[in-house]
A and B are shown apart, each in its own frame.
Chain A
Amino acid sequence: MSATITLPGFADPVGEAQATFRAVLDAMSRPGSLHRTGARLDAPPPLAAATAAVLLTLVDNETPLWLDPAADAARDWLAFHCGAVIVAAPDKAAFAVALSPVELGSLAVGSHEAPEDAATLIVQVAALGSGVGYRLAGPGLREPTLFAADGLPADFVQRWQRNHALYPCGVDLILCAGTTLAALPRSVSIEEA
Chain B
Amino acid sequence: MPDTLPLDQPHAARQKWMAVLARAQADMLGERLGDPPAYRVLRGPETGLVMVRGRTGGGGAPFNLGEMTATRCTIRTDDGFVGHAYIAGRNERLAELAALADALLQDPVRRPVLLAEVIEPLAQAQQAQREAVAAKAAATRVQFFAMQNMRS
List A residues at the B interface (Cβ < 8 Å): 2-3, 5-9, 13, 80-81
Contacts and interface: CB of A to CB of B under 8 A. Distances in A.
Contacts of A3: 80-82
Interface majority SS on B: helix, strand, loop or mixed? Answer: strand
B84 A81 contact: no
A7 B82 contact: no
Interface of B: 40-43, 46, 74, 76, 80-82, 84
B76 A6 contact: yes
Given A3-B80, A3-B82, A13 B42 contact: no
14 contacts: A2-B84, A3-B80, A3-B81, A3-B82, A5-B42, A5-B82, A7-B42, A8-B42, A8-B43, A9-B43, A13-B46, A80-B43, A80-B74, A81-B43
A24 B43 CA distance: 24
Contacts of B81: 3
Contacts of A7: 42
B46 to A, nearest CB: 7
A94 B42 CA distance: 26
Contacts of B82: 2-3, 5
Contact of A8 (B40, B80, B84): B40
B98 to A, nearest CB: 15
- Those 7 A-B pairs whose CB atoms lie nearest each other, nearest first: A2-B82, A8-B42, A5-B82, A5-B42, A3-B82, A8-B41, A9-B43
Contact of B76 (A5, A9, A13, A81): A5
A81 B46 CA distance: 13
Contacts of B74: 5, 80
A83 to B, nearest CB: 11
Contacts of A13: 46
Contacts of A5: 42, 74, 76, 82
Contacts of B40: 8
Given A3-B80, A8-B41, A80-B42, 9 more contacts: A2-B84, A5-B82, A6-B76, A7-B42, A9-B42, A9-B43, A13-B46, A80-B43, A81-B43
A8 B41 CA distance: 7
Nearest to B80: A3
A92 B127 CA distance: 50
Contacts of A80: 42-43, 74
A33 B46 CA distance: 35
Contacts of B84: 2
A2 B102 CA distance: 12
A2 B81 CA distance: 9
A13 B72 CA distance: 14
B31 to A, nearest CB: 27
A147 to B, nearest CB: 36
